[in-house]
Amino acid sequence: MGQVRTEEFDRFVAARWSTLLHLARLLTGGDRHRAEDLLQEALVKLWFAWPKVGGQAPEAYVRRILARAAARSARRRWWGEQPVEQLPDPPEVADATAVVDERTRLEAMLASLPARQRAAVVLRYYQDLPEQDVAEILGCPLGTARSLTARGVARLRRLLAEAVEPVE
């Protein structure tokens, strides 16, 4: 049964492809690429409906899908990438040592926090745990966990502001 379905569908697509593509091009204002995308979308929908419409009027079904999809597509403001004459310059390769240096600097500043503040900040922002979970892990009330986290972040911000080297 599945093989017969596939063969019937393939025969229909092979026989009607150019006519359907022409219709899709007309519906998209002559844009061949959008027309191909539109037709592919319509044929995927037809494939799933093939057991119901394959023996009746599959072309009418595809035409209706194409018309509706083209109308939806026309309402969109953005259809994807736009071709350009010249490619942009590739991004410069970042210095990997700068990333490591920054991470090392942040770890040193974290180490300078009191243990409970450090734990609260790491659990909340590095582990991305909710405040309630941080409080349970630290064995303290929710308000205390919030306070520890806020004070730890404030201290880190001060340390980072002090450590910023002036640009010459």
In tens, the pLDDT along 139-158 reads 999 999 999 999 999 999 99
Instruction: Return the pLDDT at 76.
Output: 63
pLDDT of residue 39: 94
The stretch 55-72 carries a mean pLDDT of 87
What sign for the dihedral angle of Cα 54, 60, 65, 66? Answer: positive
pLDDT digits (tens, 9 = 90+) for 106-140: 888 888 888 889 889 988 998 888 999 999 988 99
**Alpha-helical regions (H) of 58-141:** 58-75, 96-111, 115-121, 131-138
Instruction: Please report, for residues 19, 34, 76, 124, the alpha-carbon distance to residue 79 in angstroms, rounded to integers and kept in the order given.
Output: 24, 8, 7, 39
Per-residue pLDDT tens digits for 1-55: 567 778 899 999 999 999 999 999 888 878 888 889 999 999 999 999 999 988 8
- Among 142, 152, 28, smallest CA distance to 79 is for 28
> What does the pLDDT average to over 69-79?
70
Residue 78 is predicted with a pLDDT of 59
| pLDDT score of 166 more than 70 | no
pLDDT at position 42: 93
